[in-house]
Amino acid sequence: MSADDPIDRRPPNADGTDRKPKERRKKLKAKIRELEAEIAETRGKAAEEEPLYGLTPRVEAAVVRALAQERAAVIPRLLRPLHPADQADLIERLDAGQRSSLFAALGAAFNPEILSYLDETVREEVVDLLGEEQITSFLPEMDSDDAIELIGELDEEEQARILKALPAKDRVMLEEGLTFPEDSAGRLMQREMVVVPTHWTVGQTIDFLRTFNDLPDDFYDIFVVDPAHRPVGELALSRLLRSKRPMRVSDIMHRDFRKIPAAMDQEEVALLFRQYGLVAAPVVSEDDRLLGVITVDDVVDVIHEEAEEDIMRLGGVGEIDLYGSSWDTAKARFPWLVVNLATAIAASMVIGAFDATIEKVVALAVLMPLVASMGGNAGTQTLTVAVRALATRDLTARNAAKFVAKETLVGSLNGLAFAALVAATSMVWFGDLHIAWIIALAMVINLVVAGLVGTLIPLGLDRFNIDPAVASGVFLTTVTDVVGFFTFLGLATLILL
Amino acid sequence: MSADDPIDRRPPNADGTDRKPKERRKKLKAKIRELEAEIAETRGKAAEEEPLYGLTPRVEAAVVRALAQERAAVIPRLLRPLHPADQADLIERLDAGQRSSLFAALGAAFNPEILSYLDETVREEVVDLLGEEQITSFLPEMDSDDAIELIGELDEEEQARILKALPAKDRVMLEEGLTFPEDSAGRLMQREMVVVPTHWTVGQTIDFLRTFNDLPDDFYDIFVVDPAHRPVGELALSRLLRSKRPMRVSDIMHRDFRKIPAAMDQEEVALLFRQYGLVAAPVVSEDDRLLGVITVDDVVDVIHEEAEEDIMRLGGVGEIDLYGSSWDTAKARFPWLVVNLATAIAASMVIGAFDATIEKVVALAVLMPLVASMGGNAGTQTLTVAVRALATRDLTARNAAKFVAKETLVGSLNGLAFAALVAATSMVWFGDLHIAWIIALAMVINLVVAGLVGTLIPLGLDRFNIDPAVASGVFLTTVTDVVGFFTFLGLATLILL
């Protein structure tokens, strides 16, 4: 295709020639055919390349090209065949300028479903681009959980204005949803569900499903409630379908199901779903009334987010910041590095206490990072296992003592192995038996300490309800650095001077 | 309750007294009442404490006590009310001795479903305890995916013997399943599913479901296939239920669904489910024939496992090893520590090259860990984001250049900030302006390098199809240590000597 603007925007006669309207129409039509061919080719090739993902490199490049060339009319046609999740990915990948052109080009063709697939940082920006009026018009169309998530991210004034503009029914539903704490089951649940009373028969239930219009799009379970709207049974559709019409739902329903309190943290909800392989679970209020349902597909995102959070925290990053600006990212990472600087200075002070020793035996300065670094790495291994085992409830107060004992033993075993290795290395390097003995001893001590501290720190933080993923690493390396330098240089001072 | 053995095992008259059979029966009955009260109390209190999890501390303690006191008869009664997932947790927490007593006590009361909930290390041990004969009898009862997973973990000889002993139908199914690569969609899928031809009506389908006995326990979607058994549509049960009997399934089925090739890696499957919020997806052979179905609850475990794998690899641990022995754990962690030792020695050699400088200015030895440590931490932040973004496909070849540029800029920004901080610290400490300038310059250089290398290493490993989580950390800290020590000590040699 040609690189010039496909839609001729020159006013008639702008270049001084006498261009006839017919000629211009013909030119435009030719351009349109060309573009349509391009779109068809883009889609065809895309399908060949990666048939399972809609957003292929080709589609992305075509959108970026159309934005650069200000061919606004092509944008909705390029986006329409994409799944909202793929459209969200595309929006995330654009820079701020491209994003606002894209929204200008899309206009009413913007699919509100995209919002629930967007990364939080990008969603905030998109919400600003769309404006309050459009957000207000989208909310009633969205699933209740997505709508509450969206409005929950706005500031209080915006929330109040938007809620006021909504129809009463939607407003009440959203206001009620916002009363649940963030990241709780109450926020995660969907209010759209099918509920029947215990005395109904299979036939009544099926007839109800066939005639009632305001049902959720897709559902897998029906909940059976008593007159006080307390859930007493769960009924899988496959079970309903296979039962005879005169049967009562109370005779075929599953009575042994798990009810989730609305205030439960979403991490806990995810653990329950994973533990028991649940597909759907009813959410209940404090007085046991049925409020909504959480299905396993909502939990998939929670599991992903919670694991992601642990990874990021262990790596010293607050949250994944792929789409933030360099300045925001640097600012967000700064506090963690300050903490690290403080602990590194503590380690330096330990070295400083032994400067007289180092001045006499400079080999110590060369070897000292070995002990500290091995302690840090061995401790991190232990710590990683502890943090995850705590998160998945595999490690609890009940087996903590056993775990600490085991990790300390593992530290001793590897401590002995690496004591031998570093002693040999330092003998070859400096030929000094004293130094070899000193580094070997320091290594054993530091690796035992690493095993002990790598378990005790996360267990201690967890006891005080602090997420062990967020702070363990810094405490650990402080201890292994300080102990590493202190034992090595301290032993050297005792033995060599 | 009393701590002594509740069931009197003394032979009559063993202590010389003449004990009457009636008296003994009475004693036994009293003991049984006591035990039943204990069990009831255990359950009641358990329900109060943590009603959502079956395996409460109380139940666990009761089982451990019963095992210690060799009261074998109580074990099955304590375990029966627990969900198989909770029974699996209990088995994982026991030590090897307790575990074998438990199996002896359980006997035929062992529920094969427990096997699919066990951690791999523990499952291997349990499979040995159960023996080939019992495993062979369990396999036909299990879901196809669980059965294939179980047999896939055995060695080839065992596999062959067990397969030979199975009924032909089960054998063929398992043999076929084993032909798919480990961790592929073919291993993850269930073969139990409901399939109907395109020409069927809603009425025919419902009648089929009501009369056909060999259906899966629970299912949410029906697949519609053409005569060559290629999937052409997906039909949610909720849709089927709401449609009139004479409608054709081909008119109401969903045609726009995603087919998963049987060879696809499970990580890719999980990404697809998460991306598009899928609930179920058909798995097809190379010639597009329907082989089975993957449902979102299978994917929950995969998402968890894949994130866990990344966390463990970033922490330098092969896999979570909570249930391995100390010896096995130490052995498994050894290779990673050897790699770390090698890189630490490389860093020491850099220091060694400047020993003459350190001998003259011992303050350098005190300050040098600061530069290396800050570089390592800043690099780890970048690396963590890169590794996760690669795993979730948010970072690809398409936006790699932008990401590298951003992270390098972030490194420069924080480099300047920390240069100022460490320069001030070293001025206060050593009062030497030259050293302050040297450490500031080294800090900026090392943090820029950390940002650059923290992105380039994972991107490079990914390009060569090596999991960036597994090896990035070691490369990174080698670079930041070597660059940190080299620039700091090198600049000092140039300027101070």
pLDDT in tens, B393-405: 889 888 899 999 9
Mutate to test the interface with A, among B58, B240, B241, B485 (most CBs of A within 10 A): B241
Distance CA A400, CA A456 (A): 9
Min Cα–Cα distance to chain A from B245, Å = 11
> Is residue B40 very low, low, confident or very high in pLDDT (cuts 50, 70, 90)?
low
> Is residue B12 very low, low, confident or very high in pLDDT (cuts 50, 70, 90)?
very low
Q: Are residues A335 and A451 in the same domain?
A: yes
Q: Are residues B129 and B230 in the same domain?
A: no
Max mean pLDDT range (A15-24, B166-175, B412-421): B412-421
Q: What is the pLDDT of residue B417?
A: 96
Q: Is residue B377 part of a domain?
A: yes
The chain-wide mean pLDDT, for chain A, equals 87
Distance CA A354, CA A358 (A): 6
Q: Which domain holds residue A207?
A: 195-297
Distance CA B438, CA B486 (A): 12
Q: Are residues B331 and B372 in the same domain?
A: yes
Distance CA B247, CA B240 (A): 10
Measured between CB atoms, which of B238, B385, B387 is closest to A219? B238
> Is residue A294 very low, low, confident or very high in pLDDT (cuts 50, 70, 90)?
very high
Q: Is residue A252 part of a domain?
A: yes
Q: How many CB atoms lie within 10 A of CB B206?
A: 17
Distance CA A393, CA B56 (A): 12
Domain boundary residue, one of B187, B205, B233: B187
Residue A260 has pLDDT above 80, yes or no: yes
Q: What is the pLDDT of residues B266-307, one digit of tens each?
A: 999 999 998 888 888 999 999 999 999 998 888 888 988 888
Q: Are residues A276 and B358, on separate chains, in Cβ contact within 8 Å?
A: no
Q: Is residue B55 part of a domain?
A: yes
Residue B495 has pLDDT above 80, yes or no: yes
Mean pLDDT of B33-58: 62
Domain boundary residue, one of B277, B295, B313: B295
Q: What is the pLDDT of residue B140?
A: 87
* Beta carbon pairs, A and B, within 8 Å: 321
Mutate to test the interface with B, among A94, A329, A364, A392 (most CBs of B within 10 A): A329
The size of chain A, in residues, is 497
Mutate to test the interface with A, among B94, B146, B217, B238 (most CBs of A within 10 A): B238
As for how many domains chain A has, the answer is 3
Min Cα–Cα distance to chain A from B316, Å = 6
Min Cα–Cα distance to chain A from B338, Å = 8
Residues of A within 8 A of B381 (CB-CB) are 315-317, 333, 336-337
Mean pLDDT of B378-405: 90
Question: What percentage of chain A reaches a pLDDT higher than 70?
Answer: 92
Min Cα–Cα distance to chain A from B292, Å = 18
Q: Is residue B267 part of a domain?
A: yes
Q: Are residues B396 and B335 in the same domain?
A: yes
Q: Are residues B340 and A377, on separate chains, in Cβ contact within 8 Å?
A: yes
Q: Is residue B312 part of a domain?
A: no
Element (H, E) at B221: strand B221-225
What is the token pair recorded at A46?
A: 């895309």
Q: Is residue A426 part of a domain?
A: yes
Max mean pLDDT range (A113-127, A239-253, A414-428, B252-266): A414-428
Domain boundary residue, one of B187, B214, B232: B187
Min Cα–Cα distance to chain B from A137, Å = 24
Q: Are residues A61 and A122 in the same domain?
A: yes
> Is residue B375 very low, low, confident or very high in pLDDT (cuts 50, 70, 90)?
very high
Q: Are residues B167 and B200 in the same domain?
A: no
Could you tell me which chain A residue has the CA closest to the CA of B412?
A330
Residue B390 has pLDDT above 60, yes or no: yes
Question: What percentage of chain A reaches a pLDDT higher than 90?
Answer: 44
Mean pLDDT of A196-207: 93
The dihedrals phi and psi of A54, each to the nearest 5 degrees, come to -75, -35
Residue B6 has pLDDT above 60, yes or no: no
Min Cα–Cα distance to chain A from B344, Å = 6
Q: How far is CA B391 from CA A83, B204, B254, B385, B447, in A?
A: 21, 45, 30, 10, 25
Q: What is the pLDDT of residue A398?
A: 81
Q: What is the pLDDT of residues A408-434, one digit of tens each?
A: 999 999 999 999 999 999 999 999 999
Residues of B within 8 A of A475 (CB-CB) are none
> Is residue A41 very low, low, confident or very high in pLDDT (cuts 50, 70, 90)?
low
Mean pLDDT of A263-291: 92
CATH for A222: 3.10.580.10
> Is residue A46 very low, low, confident or very high in pLDDT (cuts 50, 70, 90)?
very low
> Is residue A49 very low, low, confident or very high in pLDDT (cuts 50, 70, 90)?
very low
B337: Cβ–Cβ under 8 A, 6 or more apart, which residues? A374, A377, A378, A381, A414, A418, B316
Q: Are residues A274 and B307, on separate chains, in Cβ contact within 8 Å?
A: no
Among the ranges given (A126-140, A313-327, B471-485), the one the predictor scored with the smallest mean pLDDT: A313-327
Residues of A within 8 A of B238 (CB-CB) are 209, 215-220, 237
Q: Are residues A285 and A331 in the same domain?
A: no
Could you tell me which chain A residue has the CA closest to the CA of B257?
A52
Among the ranges given (A6-20, A29-43, B433-447), the one the predictor scored with the smallest mean pLDDT: A6-20
Q: How many CB atoms lie within 10 A of CB B156?
A: 7
Q: Are residues A335 and A479 in the same domain?
A: yes
Min Cα–Cα distance to chain A from B55, Å = 11
Residue A126 has pLDDT above 60, yes or no: yes
Q: Are residues B466 and B405 in the same domain?
A: yes
Residue B308 has pLDDT above 80, yes or no: yes
Mutate to test the interface with A, among B366, B399, B413 (most CBs of A within 10 A): B366
Among the ranges given (A28-32, A469-473, B383-387), the one the predictor scored with the smallest mean pLDDT: A28-32
Q: Are residues B490 and B351 in the same domain?
A: yes
Q: Is residue B9 part of a domain?
A: no
Q: What is the pLDDT of residue B248?
A: 95
Residues of A within 8 A of B351 (CB-CB) are 365-366, 369
Rg (CA), chain B: 32
Q: Are residues B425 and A345, on separate chains, in Cβ contact within 8 Å?
A: yes
Measured between CB atoms, which of A314, A362, A370 is closest to B355? A362
Q: How far is CA A467 from CA A130, A223, A306, B472, in A?
A: 36, 36, 12, 25
Least Cα distance to B375 among A383, A375, A472, A340 occurs for A340
Q: What is the pLDDT of residues B155-173, one digit of tens each?
A: 888 889 999 999 998 899 8
Q: What is the pLDDT of residue A252?
A: 92
Residues of B within 8 A of A363 (CB-CB) are 355
Q: Are residues A381 and A447 in the same domain?
A: yes
Among the ranges given (A354-368, A475-489, B105-119), the one the predictor scored with the smallest mean pLDDT: B105-119
What is the token pair recorded at B114?
A: 């427990």
Q: Are residues B381 and A314, on separate chains, in Cβ contact within 8 Å?
A: no
Q: Is residue B311 part of a domain?
A: no
CATH for A436: 1.10.357.20
Residue B325 has pLDDT above 50, yes or no: yes
Among the ranges given (A303-317, A334-348, A360-374), the one the predictor scored with the smallest mean pLDDT: A303-317
Q: What is the pLDDT of residue A20?
A: 65
> Is residue A465 very low, low, confident or very high in pLDDT (cuts 50, 70, 90)?
confident
Q: Are residues B154 and B54 in the same domain?
A: yes
Q: What is the pLDDT of residue A48?
A: 44
